[in-house]
Amino acid sequence: MKLTLGFSPCPNDTFIFDALIHHKIDTKGLDFDVEYQDVETLNLKAFQGDLDITKLSYHAFAYAVEDYELLDAGSALGFGVGPMLITKDATLAEVLQAKLKSGDGLGEFDKLKVGYPGKFTTANFLLGLAFPELTNKIELVFSDIEGALLDGSIDLGLIIHENRFTYSEKGLYKVVDLGEYWENTTKFPIPLGGIVVKRSLPKDVKDTLNTILKESVEFAFANPKSGLEFIRSHAQEMSEEVMYKHIELYVNKYSVELGVEGRNAITKMFEKAQEMGFIPHSDKKLFLS
């Protein structure tokens, strides 16, 4: 049986899926037509039901939950892995840090222009939790955000993925690590992205997918260099050191299996987002049962 599969070209996803799509493990009769897209494109494709299995952000999952359910393997959750709000103005960074700590609101700073990687990214959801007044946003491809800060097109940038390793080298300053903000607020790991499957697929197919995706992650951990050339081919001129820093940051025990803590973190995020009116309510179960 051939299924359509979408995930990002980022090292954490190519690391996770390498063994699966290249049949380094037994895929139990399943084969895949693969699309490589940035996460916001994958989010939008999920809203249209375009793919049988896809990576998406947890924020976007709230808008696709009627048609998709979450696999137990393949997720990106963790501590110290969240998106970051940055600026090229060190003084502005200090002012906004003080504003966040005091909880007094942004006042005259609420009109600052923010470059962000997409409406339905988990990064945007977390930004809304920390700074709900920052609504003057411009959507950019995540890899273009640092450049827009440097040329003055935006005042603040919401960065994800490998940019957290490079921003300081470019003379940019951290305002807040939104993952740390979430962790300090909830005591849970931050859910960033997960792998979902169409509810309409037969249950045995979904169960098989869950099993072989877990095996693919386990194979990658046991053979970390096995997919090196595949990972590098999609890594946008990233050095090998940065590639594996990226993988180490985003691929962990929750990628093998969510477990109770992972499921509780995702449930907490959905409850918090519904409470604040960020996402619609749904009675659908989130997790593959």
Residue 263: inside a domain, yes or no? yes
| Residue 226 counted as an annotated binding residue | no
Alpha helices in 65-187 (DSSP H): 90-102, 122-130, 145-150, 178-186
Residue 151: inside a domain, yes or no? yes
DSSP one-letter code for 225: T
Residue 289: inside a domain, yes or no? no
| Residue 57 counted as an annotated binding residue | yes
User: Based on the domain organization, do 207 and 118 belong to the same domain?
Assistant: no
| Residue 56 counted as an annotated binding residue | yes
Active site residue 161: yes
Judged by DSSP in three states, 18 sits in: helix
pLDDT for position 246: 83
User: Based on the domain organization, do 74 and 207 belong to the same domain?
Assistant: yes
Last residue of a domain, one of 186, 218, 242: 186
Average pLDDT, rounded, for the chain: 92
CATH number for the domain harbouring residue 102: 3.40.190.10
Residue 35: inside a domain, yes or no? yes
pLDDT tens string 187-214: 999 898 999 999 999 999 999 999 999 9
| Structural domain of 38 | 2-78+191-275
pTM assigned to the model: 0.83
Residue 44: inside a domain, yes or no? yes
| Residue 62 counted as an annotated binding residue | no
Are 158 and 166 within 8 A, CB to CB? no
User: Based on the domain organization, do 88 and 61 belong to the same domain?
Assistant: no
Residue 283: inside a domain, yes or no? no
pLDDT tens string 89-106: 999 999 999 988 888 788
Pick the catalytic residue from 22, 23, 59, 161.
161
Last residue of a domain, one of 166, 186, 206: 186
Number of domains in the chain: 2
